[in-house]
Structure 1
Amino acid sequence: MTTLWPPRAWAAAAATLTAIAIAVVAEAASANQILIGVNSVRFAWTAASGGPTGYQVYRSLNGGALAPYSVALGTGVEISVAPGDQIAIAVVAVAKDSSGRLRAGPMSPLSERIWATPSPKFPVTGSWVLRCATCPALARRSLTDASVVRAQAPALAAPWRVLGRAALVFGRKQIVWHNTQTGELALWDEGTLAPIPGGVGLGSPAMRGVGGADFNRDGIEEFVIQRTDTGVVSLWSLTPNGFERTVSLTGPPGARLAAARDMNGDGRIELLWQNSAAGTLDSWTLKGDPRTTPLSTLYESVKPRLAAGVAPDAIVASTGDYDGDGYVDVLWRFPSGGLGITYLPKGKPPSFVPLPAVAGDANRIVVGSLNIDGVRDDEIALQDWTTGRISILNPSASGAPRTNVVDPGSAWKVIGIGS
């Protein structure tokens, strides 16, 4: 899979052909121009004036001298790399003069040097699931080694978007697509990256996905959707008639359903409600058995509330067991990119702990929580929305260190982590 390098001006003086303004087009996430887990890099430049017929590309590999690499008819070239490679290029524009003879312009300055490094290895199975909206395509990358692309397939284009994922069929995850113009819903199998026959439904354009959860403990999840206009929450299931709404719930006025999951390991799904205007986070729990009583009548608010005095611009970004105590905690993200965790230990009051910030956090979003190192506690998965770089933050380790995982390219966005 190709990774592209971000534009940086790269000028060349010219005599018969004017200056070539070259940019390298790829996503490096730092000034060191290090790319992780890539197998090719694409360089691009603006066209020289004078009607060039092509460009001679010269490559420097691992600090060596420039040598002819290829001829590009357009203004770009893709170069294969292996872990450990260091590459840079220069180009020469070629054009015909008035007599029809080929003339070469001056060689451009050397581009920035790119270092290709391997992705770290992790003792887990599963996949990063990504979507390229502009391609459009879906891909699964290995959690063990994110440089390995397990599958890639064409996908739906805009105005379709991904609402989320859920195990709507026993033992398999599905991707839930949403058409923002018509409200149509469509299910794709996460393993095959293909549509599920009959897996379609109709909702509203005003919908947001919350996630999948097994409310009735039958081993199959329901997908949770909240209306962005009315706030009403609904549970959707795959039935013989298609993808259908099966239950509706009305939450606290003005509240956003931040999460639906088993918070304490008792097998029951709690609902976390965030009210940004009030600065609160509340939990609803089941007061009965959803297998025998309608789910819409079973939820009740838990006191005391989980958090109060929350900044109005903070959002619940994820949930996970970040300290390994068997109880799920709440991860917050602030507009600055800063992160903090409200720990919810058994029998103790909740406690908020801010996480150390690093440069560039404003561009990083939380894409999920997972156990990727095989230790009991969960880690936080981040993606730089500008460069596409995926990284892992370990909140329980000293200093909450970050591990860079892979550079999939800026067009590829993580839509899920799992099987």
Structure 2
Amino acid sequence: MSFFNSQTSCKRPTNFFPFLKQIRFLVQFSRLASTALLVSVLANPSLAASDIPNSDFNGDGKSDILWRHSTNGTNRIWIMNGSTVLTDPVINVDQNLNWKVVGTGDFNGDGKSDILWRNPLNGLNRLWLMNTANIVSSSRLLDVLDINWEVVGVGDFNGDGKSDIFWRHATNGTNRIWIMNGSTVLTDPVINVIPNLNRKVIGTGDFNGDGKSDILWRNLTTGENRVWLMNTAAIISNAQLPVVNDINWQIAGIGDFNADNKSDILWHHSTNGTNRIWIMNGSTVLTDPVINVDPNLNWRVVGTGDYNGDGRADILWRNATNGLNRLWLMNTATITSSSRLVDVTDINWKVVGNGTQYLYPPF
């Protein structure tokens, strides 16, 4: 049975997009844009930013969903409680579509996700510090005019409870971290140079549970996988993971699926629809259970986050052709609930800011 065609539908909010029927996923920006370990999400400097659920804009310990309209520049947040959309406020409209959301994270340590933007045409960068759907500060960051520099990850690399920015140069393979304090770049150390450009940063997560973000790599031609366990800009371990030679296996998300405070890896097979999780302990794959198989390849994973606040990562799906959306609430590799969310049939609406750069070809 397909979990996309069964289970419960959530109730449509009365104020949801009254003039639209819409949506879709990707990572994007406007002018000015990790993992589900649940802790009490308050302004607590002892918490690593990775302890805050992915895209938790109101600080309630539950992930929310950030949308951007790719043709009119509207930005909107779904404030979530499990599979229920509580509210769907518009943040703002910015019609300069050159601005792309390149990540979300808690940059000022207040327990609420903020939005990082980059303009890939002129190299300008901007940070929105957020309080639910309110932009409390919109700050221009340092310009990075060489557009070969790409933001490939957001995570808390020094464990200070504030998100940092991981950059990779697309032509020379240099890697650099901006250590952040709000909108201030404290330091910008080079980590390493990896001239093999087939190796891609897939995402960041805390794989060894030390409260500091690590970096997950995949070679898109050979199937080699590697994790850098990090301490700020120092690589304390550069470990090869099992090779996955079938390049149809794509890493679709990073999250803590078994609530052990260590990130795990979600895989999706792009031709047969199999879904599998690597349960991780540092660089060791403890188990690799299959979740399910769904041959309808129009469904794409567009995010992982802790939507019900149980400390375990869940999986957000979007159908690229009909605009349906579905949420799997997870307990390790068990789907405890598969709920149809509000339909968003305008495919110009994209889910943005969930962090993984090399999921699928764009739809």
Alpha-carbon distance, 1:125 to partner: 4.2
Task: Compute the RMSD of aligned alpha carbons.
Answer: 3.6
Q: How does 1:149-164 map to 2 (within 5 A)?
A: 149-164=88-103
Aligned twin of 2:87: 148
Q: How does 1:360-399 map to 2 (within 5 A)?
A: 360=296, 362-396=297-331, 398=334
Q: 1:398 to 1:79 in 2, by over 3 A?
A: closer
CA distance in 1, matches of 2:75, 2:140: 20
Aligned twin of 1:169: 108
Q: 1:313 to 1:209 in 2, by over 3 A?
A: farther
Residue among 330, 350, 361 paired with 1:413: 350
CA distance in 2, matches of 1:241, 1:205: 20
Q: Is 1:37 paired with 2:12?
A: yes
CA distance in 1, matches of 2:283, 2:174: 32
Aligned twin of 1:223: 165
Q: Which runs of 5+ in 1 are unaligned?
A: 1-28, 43-76, 81-122
Q: Is 1:248 paired with 2:190?
A: yes
The question of whether the paired residues in 2 share the 8 Å contact of 1:275 and 1:281 is answered with yes
Helix, strand or coil at the partner of 2:210: coil
CA distance in 1, matches of 2:335, 2:236: 38
Residue among 292, 309, 331 paired with 1:356: 292
Deviation sequence 1:269-314 (CA, Å, 0-9, x none): 322221122212112224xx64xxxx2xx214444x2221332233
Deviation sequence 1:37-76 (CA, Å, 0-9, x none): 265899xxxxxxxxxxxxxxxxxxxxxxxxxxxxxxxxxx
Q: 1:78 to 1:279 in 2, by over 3 A?
A: closer
Aligned twin of 1:272: 216
CA distance in 1, matches of 2:176, 2:282: 30
Aligned length: 301
CA distance in 1, matches of 2:216, 2:228: 6
The question of whether the paired residues in 2 share the 8 Å contact of 1:257 and 1:274 is answered with yes
The question of whether the paired residues in 1 share the 8 Å contact of 2:100 and 2:117 is answered with yes
Alpha-carbon distance, 1:259 to partner: 2.2
Residue among 114, 132, 153 paired with 1:211: 153
Helix, strand or coil at the partner of 1:146: strand
Alpha-carbon distance, 1:329 to partner: 1.0
Aligned twin of 1:111: none
Helix, strand or coil at the partner of 2:152: strand
The TM-score, its normalising length taken from structure 2, stands at 0.69
CA distance in 2, matches of 1:275, 1:355: 24
Alpha-carbon distance, 1:247 to partner: 2.2
Aligned twin of 1:133: 70
Q: More relative contact order in 1 or in 2 (CA 8 Å, sep 6+)?
A: 2
Q: 1:255 to 1:238 in 2, by over 3 A?
A: same
Q: 1:205 to 1:262 in 2, by over 3 A?
A: same
CA distance in 2, matches of 1:40, 1:151: 11
CA distance in 2, matches of 1:193, 1:201: 21
The question of whether the paired residues in 2 share the 8 Å contact of 1:126 and 1:417 is answered with no
Q: Is 1:332 paired with 2:307?
A: no
Q: Which amino acid is 2:327 matched to?
A: I
Aligned twin of 2:33: none
Alpha-carbon distance, 1:35 to partner: 9.3
Q: 1:228 to 1:151 in 2, by over 3 A?
A: same
Alpha-carbon distance, 1:186 to partner: 1.9
The question of whether the paired residues in 1 share the 8 Å contact of 2:74 and 2:90 is answered with no
Percentage of identical aligned residues: 19
Q: 1:197 to 1:79 in 2, by over 3 A?
A: closer
Alpha-carbon distance, 1:251 to partner: 5.1
The question of whether the paired residues in 1 share the 8 Å contact of 2:207 and 2:283 is answered with no
Alpha-carbon distance, 1:132 to partner: 0.9
Q: Is 1:281 paired with 2:254?
A: no
The question of whether the paired residues in 2 share the 8 Å contact of 1:237 and 1:243 is answered with yes
CA distance in 1, matches of 2:274, 2:354: 22
The question of whether the paired residues in 1 share the 8 Å contact of 2:164 and 2:179 is answered with yes
The question of whether the paired residues in 2 share the 8 Å contact of 1:35 and 1:407 is answered with no
Aligned twin of 1:13: none
CA distance in 2, matches of 1:387, 1:229: 37
CA distance in 2, matches of 1:251, 1:317: 25
Alpha-carbon distance, 1:367 to partner: 2.4
Aligned twin of 1:55: none
Rg (Cα) greater in structure = 1
CA distance in 2, matches of 1:239, 1:161: 22
CA distance in 2, matches of 1:271, 1:39: 41
Aligned twin of 1:188: 128
Q: 1:357 to 1:279 in 2, by over 3 A?
A: same
Aligned twin of 2:250: 315
Aligned twin of 1:202: 144
